[in-house]
């Protein structure tokens, strides 16, 4: 059966996702701040202890103006964790980091139940979007250099995953073509995730931070349909035919 | 309707400029009005391959910066009057290519030409992304070896994300042109087979150009191979590719070295 791969403990990165509230200022900023103040007057602790992201897609501000806005918010006890919706070229040292790939979600303890305050556009954005099962289907080949990250669940690729491409999934990964790139399943610490592919020529297979590089994948498995899973603290690979 | 083509590859030295010149000349030979644009700002080559290097006055960057008007920068080929070159600047770098500037140049060319062929520089940086930005279709030039194929795969990903067409939710048509193919080396397993390349890239095959002294000779005398030796094997392969580009359905043949006779019909219709 599959050999046990040496375990490395020195460096372990675990992607982790956190909930943040995105607030989206609308132009003119002065009016928007006034509206925010009015809302805060009604429920002062609305943002207390919350992670807040600043969505600047609706406004066009330069770095100085963004810095000012961040300071204005800080004065109101709103600590901005990151900025989204700006051209990364506009970012300057001293500003909160640029965030990407945010998506709307539902929270169990949504504090929004207290008399919905001013930043309603943001509240609308974070409102529940769908209740569909968390899986991502990709019908096209995933090309070299592309990175598909889907921490919410499983990823299914109908085509091939090219050399130099990577799929990162919180759940399992299914590739119906040839897997030539990297597949990282269970990326958020899910040891029960698996990787399935129709033909393995992978550069790297990983589940929950245990991995094997191409060199550690036995020759007899190459170019065959396989599945990979975690067992006994090691990544196991077996052929499926 | 004008067609904007980008000839691209990711990897350098695979035959983008040679293929741009050969296809441009082949299209112009049939009377179509063709302009080839060199996007390799700072390292221009297309002028040499077309034998126009001694007639360059203004270039693409001059037009973008408003120093010259487009007609002033266009160089008409001496052998074919419907073939034009818009040369790159040798003294500037790729940062001089602005999105608005390139858009304006392409827009203006669209009204006057049937084919606008953008010769992309190697790499995936500004020069390459600007060359593909406004393309309707792409010719991906690939050598049958792993590094070239992987770079082409990367470029296809960019064509599907960084072009205006892709951003509008449309698709850039993609054509695979395999160049420097060496049948005996492929038979010995020293090169990837055509099937391997097609399997990895999964885009339609436009043609297979054999490795040939004719191509080298033509480039050195500053004349596209389709003009310099139109009866040669590589020239005929380029002519066939041109016809496929125009929508004709002719089977792709694998060229062999043996006296330049096509010995094997290539049946596979890629993806």
Compare A48 and A211 and report the one with higher pLDDT: A211
**pTM surpassing 0.90?**
no
pLDDT higher than threshold 50 for residue A203: yes
Which residues of chain A neighbour B123 with C-beta distances below 8 Å? none
pLDDT higher than threshold 90 for residue A39: no
Backbone angles phi, psi at A27, to 5 degrees: -70, 150
Which residues of chain B neighbour A148 with C-beta distances below 8 Å? none
Q: What is the pLDDT of residue B60?
A: 97
SS (H, E, C) B153-194: HHHHHHHCCCCHHHHCCCCCEEEEEEEEECHHHHHCCCCCCH
% of chain A surpassing 90 pLDDT:
42
Mean pLDDT of A30-53: 79
Q: What is the pLDDT of residue A29?
A: 84
pLDDT in tens, A130-143: 556 789 999 999 99
Q: What is the pLDDT of residue A131?
A: 56
B217 touching A, CB under 8 A? no
Query: CA-CA distance, B232 to B259, in Å (whole number)?
Result: 10
Compare A124 and B12 and report the one with higher pLDDT: B12
Mean pLDDT of A43-59: 78
Which residues of chain A neighbour B200 with C-beta distances below 8 Å? 160, 162-163, 178, 180
pLDDT higher than threshold 70 for residue A17: no
Q: Kindly report whether the peptide bond that precedes residue A28 is cis, defined as omega within 30 degrees of 0.
A: yes
For A181, which residue in chain B has the nearest alpha carbon?
B150
Q: What is the pLDDT of residue A67?
A: 86
Q: What is the pLDDT of residue A201?
A: 96
List, for chain B, all residue ranges whose pLDDT scores fall below the cut of 70.
257-271
Exposure string (b/e) for A48-59, b if CB count within 10 Å is 16 or more?
eeeebbbbbeeb
Q: What is the pLDDT of residue A132?
A: 62
Which residues of chain A neighbour B156 with C-beta distances below 8 Å? 143
Q: In this structure, how many other beta carbons lie within 10 angstroms of the beta carbon of residue B204?
A: 15
CB contact under 8 A, A162 and B200: yes
Which residues of chain B neighbour A145 with C-beta distances below 8 Å? 124, 153-154, 157-158
Alpha-carbon gap: B140 to the closest alpha carbon of chain A (Å): 14
CB contact under 8 A, B157 and A163: no
Q: What is the ipTM of this complex?
A: 0.78
Interface of B with A in 111-140 (CB under 8 A): 124
Compare B47 and A78 and report the one with higher pLDDT: B47
Q: What is the pLDDT of residue A41?
A: 79
User: Quick one: which of B46, B6, B20, B3 has its CA closest to B179?
Assistant: B20
For A142, which residue in chain B has the nearest alpha carbon?
B157
CB contact under 8 A, A144 and B202: no
Chain-centre distance of CA B223, in angstroms?
15
For B154, which residue in chain A has the nearest alpha carbon?
A144
Mean pLDDT of A216-224: 94
pLDDT higher than threshold 60 for residue A79: yes
Q: What is the pLDDT of residue B268?
A: 46
User: Quick one: which of B247, B248, B217, B249 has its CA closest to B233?
Assistant: B217
Which one-letter DSSP state was computed for residue A106?
-
């Amino acid at each position: 059966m599959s050999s046990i791969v040496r375990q490395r403990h020195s460096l372990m990165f675990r992607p982790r996702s956190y909930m943040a509230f995105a607030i989206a200022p609308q132009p003119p900023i002065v009016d928007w701040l006034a509206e925010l103040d009015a809302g805060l007057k009604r429920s002062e602790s609305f943002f207390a202890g919350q992670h807040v992201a600043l969505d600047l897609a609706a406004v066009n501000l330069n770095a100085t103006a963004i810095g000012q806005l961040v300071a204005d918010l800080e004065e109101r006890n709103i600590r901005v964790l990151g900025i989204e919706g700006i051209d990364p070229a506009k970012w300057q040292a001293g500003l909160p980091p640029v965030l990407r790939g945010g998506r709307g979600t539902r929270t169990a303890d949504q504090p929004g139940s207290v008399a919905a305050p001013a930043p309603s556009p943001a509240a609308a954005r974070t409102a529940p979007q769908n209740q569909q099962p968390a899986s991502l289907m990709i019908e096209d080949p995933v090309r070299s250099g592309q990175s598909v990250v889907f921490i919410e669940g499983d990823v299914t690729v109908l085509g091939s995953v090219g050399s130099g491409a990577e799929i990162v999934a919180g759940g399992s990964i299914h590739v119906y073509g040839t897997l030539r790139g990297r597949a990282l399943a269970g990326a958020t610490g899910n040891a029960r995730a698996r990787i399935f592919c129709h033909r393995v020529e992978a550069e790297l297979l990983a589940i929950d931070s245990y991995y094997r590089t191409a060199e550690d994948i036995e020759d007899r498995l190459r170019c065959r349909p396989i599945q990979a899973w975690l067992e006994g603290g090691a990544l196991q690979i077996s052929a499926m035919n | 309707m004008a067609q904007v083509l980008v000839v691209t590859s990711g990897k350098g030295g695979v035959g983008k400029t040679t293929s741009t010149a050969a296809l441009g000349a082949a299209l112009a030979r049939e009377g179509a009005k063709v302009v080839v644009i060199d996007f390799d700002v700072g390292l221009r080559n297309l002028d040499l391959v077309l034998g126009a290097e001694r007639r360059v006055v203004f270039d693409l960057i001059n037009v973008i910066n408003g120093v010259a008007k487009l007609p002033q920068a266009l160089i008409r080929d001496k052998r074919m009057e419907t073939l034009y070159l818009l040369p790159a600047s040798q003294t500037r770098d790729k940062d001089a290519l602005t999105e608005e500037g390139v858009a304006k140049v392409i827009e203006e060319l669209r009204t006057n030409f049937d084919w606008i062929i953008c010769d992309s520089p190697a790499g995936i940086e500004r020069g390459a992304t600007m060359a593909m930005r406004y393309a309707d279709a792409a010719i991906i030039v690939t050598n049958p070896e792993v590094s070239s194929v992987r770079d082409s795969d990367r470029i296809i990903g960019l064509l599907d994300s960084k072009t205006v067409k892709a951003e509008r939710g449309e698709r850039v048509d993609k054509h695979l042109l395999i160049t420097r193919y060496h049948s005996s080396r492929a038979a010995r397993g020293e090169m990837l087979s055509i099937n391997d390349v097609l399997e990895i890239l999964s885009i339609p095959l436009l043609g297979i150009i054999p490795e040939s002294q004719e191509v080298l000779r033509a480039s050195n005398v500053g004349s596209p191979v389709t003009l310099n030796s139109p009866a040669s094997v590589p020239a005929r392969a380029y002519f066939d590719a041109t016809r496929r580009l125009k929508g004709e359905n002719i089977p792709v043949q694998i060229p062999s070295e043996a006296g330049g006779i096509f010995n094997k019909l290539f049946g596979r219709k890629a993806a």
